[in-house]
Amino acid sequence: MTGHERIPTDGGNKLAQNPFAMLSSAGLPEAPAAPSTTGPTRDGAKAAGAGAGRRKAPNQNRGRVDIVRSTAGRAGRTVTVVSGFVGISLPEKEQLAKMMQKACGSGGTVKDGRIEVQGDKREVVARILTEAGFRPVFAGG
């Protein structure tokens, strides 16, 4: 090919062979039912029966967690520490931490199995934990 020939952009020739033609769906499970087309109503609430079973209600007895305000080893800066989680995975802790940071408008992290949020945000953190099904307890000073 020399430098002056044009390359066709109209799609060219079709593939001579379909690599998926020999595949079969025999033995595969049925596809899940299509989701309901009934969406949220005007006020934002779901229509009756729409989305049922998709999102489960939070477990209202997920255990006690301690909320402590701490300044130790932080150069005098106040940090809200949430500890005492039982049976909760690291990704779920990170998701809770992200929700807390967003609600508090501050930074934070998950460290050594505890959630740390910058600032004295105990009330906001307690509300989020209650909504998630935990029983928050203010511990320490």
In a domain, residue 30? The reply is: no
Least Cα distance to 122 among 85, 68, 74, 78 occurs for 68
Residue range 41-64, pLDDT digits in tens: 555 555 444 444 444 455 567 889
Q: What single letter denotes the amino acid at residue 92?
A: E
What domain range is 117 assigned to? 64-138
Residue 133 to residue 92: CA distance in whole angstroms: 13
Q: Specify the pTM.
A: 0.57
Q: For 59-112, how does the pLDDT look when each residue is reduced to its tens digit (9 = 90+)?
A: 567 889 999 999 888 888 999 999 999 888 999 999 999 999 999 999 999 999
**Is 140 within 8 Å of 81 (Cβ atoms)?**
no
Could you give the CA distance from residue 89 to residue 122 in angstroms, rounded to a whole number? 22
**Number of structural domains, the chain?**
1
> Does 126 reside within a domain?
yes
List the CATH number of the domain containing 73: 3.30.780.10
Residue 26 lies in a domain: no
Residue 1 lies in a domain: no
Is residue 2 in some structural domain?
no
In a domain? residue 44: no
With tokens 């049922």, the residue in question is 52
